[in-house]
A and B are shown apart, each in its own frame.
Chain A
Amino acid sequence: MNSAITNKLNIFITLLVITAVQIGLSYADFLAPVGHIIAALLLAASETILVGLFFMGLKNDDRLLRTTALFPFVLFCIMNGALVLDVLIFMKH
């Protein structure tokens, strides 16, 4: 049992560290603005995966739950991809 608890504590600490890194990175100005965005999103995604796998139990769930968890992010990319393509890239203002 205690391995589960220490596991939860490790995850908890890594989450705190990632958040701290995220905030710190945003103040570092050696990164270009695009770099900020990518770094922030990558860290957020890693936090999400950590919470998803360990705190939400996806680690020991079957493939069905994992596809259910993943599918909305695919739709997220479809909708945002189409919107960005149409309103920002193709649209001549």
Chain B
Amino acid sequence: MTEHAAHAEEIHPEPKDFFHKYVWSYDHKVISKQYLFTAFFFLIVGGLLAMLIRWQLAYPFQPVPVLGSLLHGHLFFDDSGAITPEGYLQLTTMHGSIMIFFVMIPMLVAVFGNYLIPLQIGARDVAFPLLNALSYWLYLPAGILAFSSFFLAKGAAEAGWTGYPPLSDVSSSTPGSGSGQIFWLLSVFLVGFSSILGGVNFLTTIVKMRAPGMTWDRLPLVTWSQLITAVFQALATPVLGSAMALMFMDKVFHTSFFIPSGLQNSDDQLVGGGGLVGNAGGGGHPLLWQHIFWFYSHPAVYILILPGMGLASELIATFSRKPIFAYKPMVGSMATIMGLGFIVWGHHMFVSGMSPAMGMGFMMTTMLIALPSGVKVFNWLGTLHRGSIHLTVPMLHGLSFLSMFIIGGLSGIFMAATPVDIYIHDTYYIIAHFHYVVFGGSVFAVFGGLYYWFPKMWGRKMNDKLGYLHWFLTFVTFNCTFFPMHLLGEGGQMRRLATSTGYEYLQPMQDINVFISVSAFILGASQIIFLFNYFYSIVKGPKAEANPWNAITLEWTIPSPAPYHNFDKIPTVYRGPYEYSGEEAEKVGRDWIAQDEKLPA
């Protein structure tokens, strides 16, 4: 068993029939593509929801142009085709839930993690291929559950993606909190369970199945970020599962975990267990849900950004033709984020009735966790410094990640300062902050990653002209959409308002809302360019060679598209992942040298 002979023999023959090749497949590359196409579908659904939200905010209660006349009286439209107040809440809740659980986490972790981890560490497949397939086949029904909750009699869940009780818990408090909320609970539980299995799978793969020579300081930063994300997924997502289980018990078995005694519904009847009139129960505490939910959800926002950081590091280093600046501190800051990530969740609850003393503690840890992100930003700048920057499409996305993540991170500091958070909490300032970090950060990293690894995934190249056009439109309209939200936040416009025009002090905000909506429509439209470019190039794109970007990591040493069993022989790794323009590269006459390339004697 010396030179990994066992691995070589274990090559299962590639399945031939359509079912085992594409549907019930164990191959990590096929599973990642299954996740990719499902995440694209939910990206379109989530995007449409966002367009409806922006329509309602710009032209409150005016009939929606096309969809309104088609679906008047159904879903979230009233008879005249305008969006109803409870319909608006369903839009915001499902926009948030679908984008986070069904688009971003799968796109960042399941698509890139699944595809890249085995290839970058030199393994044939993930540690547990059956478990990998099981993760996808838990994620898909969860998606179907979430999507079908729109068509329920009383509509989808309406308590925000955070689902704070008693609004989400007491079914009579709002129409969506009946069966819609139960569908939401089940679908989030299922997608949480699938992401726990994914975390366990990836963590075992990275820790245990690295090729010989792939020591911890030669691991590419994409895989490092997937490792830290997998730790968060394996240890924090179960807490979300039990929060969902507790509220499920509340709604179905009429327990009263989050229902305080003496709670009344809107027609002044006392409600007990399960929010039902006449039940005794009570004695629960709504703040417990917030504590348990945010104990998961802060690690979840790091699950959303860490893979993006890994992708951006890869893109920036490759297209500056220069090793990543300070590799060890980059890994160190990710480890610090893992350490601090579990003890910061209270900064979501500064004004929620959590005691002020706790606020002080969480302010300290929140201020500290801003530091690793700052260190990473400066290291990326260090990588760009004195590099030879190729402004290809993936690089432009990588630079957009860097520039937008800076704004997202800096606007986070305002919230960490608790007195300022008193004013801007639950306003559009918060929405601007997390859209800058999630959209400006992770989505640009995902677009960059999809362009960058398209040749390896499909064996073809995407069209560059469309790529530049899509980047430029998205970059400009993204800023025009989300930067003015800082102004809305400073003007005190609260989140999740069907319209802000009811408030006299918010009148000056309405023109900003209209500007945001118009740029949001253009932003939505410009994504069609990307989707067309992606699917068109899968079929019609020019053939791609094995290493079109002259990159170093192991996945570029195998032909494109990556063959079924990845490596003919498990490679041996001799150097770090970012050895661009070094002496070793000069010895082989190029400005890069692959990780497993033996130097000529």
Binding site for B on A (CB under 8 A): 64, 71-72, 75, 78-79, 82-83, 85-87, 90-91
Contacts and interface: CB of A to CB of B under 8 A. Distances in A.
A83 B291 contact: yes
A79 B358 contact: no
B354 A86 contact: yes
B235 A72 contact: yes
Given A71-B235, A87-B285, A87-B287, A79 B295 contact: yes
Contacts of A75: 235, 342
> Which label, helix, strand, loop or mixed, suits the secondary structure of the A interface?
helix
A86 B356 CA distance: 9
A87 B239 contact: no
B6 interface: no
B346 A87 contact: no
Classify chain B: how many residues form its interface, as a range. Answer: 10 to 19
30 contacts: A64-B207, A71-B235, A75-B235, A75-B342, A78-B342, A78-B343, A79-B239, A79-B291, A79-B292, A79-B295, A82-B291, A82-B346, A82-B358, A83-B288, A83-B291, A85-B357, A85-B358, A86-B291, A86-B346, A86-B354, A86-B355, A87-B285, A87-B287, A87-B288, A87-B291, A90-B355, A90-B356, A90-B357, A90-B358, A91-B355
A86 B239 contact: no
Contacts of B343: 78
B295 A86 contact: no
A62 to B, nearest CB: 11
Nearest to B203: A68
- Report the 8 A-B pairs with minimum CB-CB distance, sorted nearest first: A90-B355, A86-B358, A90-B357, A86-B354, A83-B291, A79-B295, A86-B355, A91-B355
Interface string B279-298: 00000010110011001000
B240 to A, nearest CB: 13
Contacts of A72: 235
Contacts of A78: 342-343
Contacts of A85: 357-358
Q: Which of B346, B356, B358 has the most CB of A within 10 A?
A: B358
Contacts of B357: 85, 90
B250 to A, nearest CB: 18
Nearest to A90: B355
Contacts of B235: 71-72, 75
Contacts of B287: 86-87
B476 to A, nearest CB: 43
A64 B206 CA distance: 13
Interface in B225-245: 235, 239
A67 B287 CA distance: 31
A71 B346 CA distance: 21
B469 to A, nearest CB: 47
A64 B203 CA distance: 12
Contacts of B239: 79
Contacts of A87: 285, 287-288, 291
